Amino acid sequence: MTERSLVLVKPDAFARGLTGEVIRRIEAKGYTLVALKVLTPTRDMLAQHYAEHEGKPFYEGLLEFMASGPVTAVCIEGVRCIPGFRSLAGKTDPTEALPGTIRGDLGRDWGQGATHNIVHGSDSPESAARELGIWFPELG
Ligand code: DAT
Ligand code: MG
């Protein structure tokens, strides 16, 4: 039942000094930090990561935003941490995300809708394995 998920703390959170607050919430929830790195992603990594969204109206803006500054990639571990982190994160659109969630408490619309939404979390075991391979190839 123990599984791993990929969390990305996005450039908006980094720029606002909220990376530690996001990681604090993951730790407070009880998930284990397996690996963590700060990097500014290449467009190639982002195209792989967001392949399912290619061609959507927000795709170019999303890649531009995600490449605009440092991202903190975190591999987390725990029983049901994939849905568990999605619950912590809240709805995709930070305007609609409930208070108490990461996006609801820390995010808002800065004029680009849901793009600046603080965090990414894998949405299934298959996505987690695929995404961890992009961001943490060294974990195997
Ligand atoms: P999530 O990150 O909640 O899994 P997603 O996979 O549907 O959401 O979309 C990936 C990211 O793309 C999301 O975190 C923010 C951005 N995004 C999604 N829908 C959007 C929209 N309608 N307008 C702007 N950005 C959007
Ligand atoms: Mg998604």
117 lines ligand 1 (CB under 6 A): yes
Of 115, 116, 118, the one to substitute when testing ligand 1's pocket (max ligand atoms within 8 A of C-beta) is 115
pTM: 0.98
Q: Is 53 a catalytic residue?
A: no
Architecture of domain 2-139: 2-Layer Sandwich (3.30)
Q: CB of 113 closer than 6 A to ligand 1?
A: yes
- What tokens appear for 34 in the block? 């397996």
Strands 2-9 and 71-79: antiparallel
Cβ contacts of 117 within 8 Å, gap of 6 or more: 10, 12, 92, 93, 94, 97, 103, 107
Query: Could you tell me the residue ranges of all domains in the chain?
Result: 2-139
- Where the chain has pLDDT below 50, the residues are none
Model pLDDT for residues 37-67, shown as the tens digit of each residue: 999 999 999 999 999 999 999 999 999 999 9
pLDDT at 132 (0 to 100)? 98
CA distances (Å), 110 to each of 2, 25, 29, 93, 137, in order?
Answer: 37, 23, 28, 11, 33
Answer whether 105 contacts ligand 1 (Cβ < 6 A).
no
Distance 120 CA to ligand 2 centre (A): 7
CA dist 49 and 7 (Å) reads 12
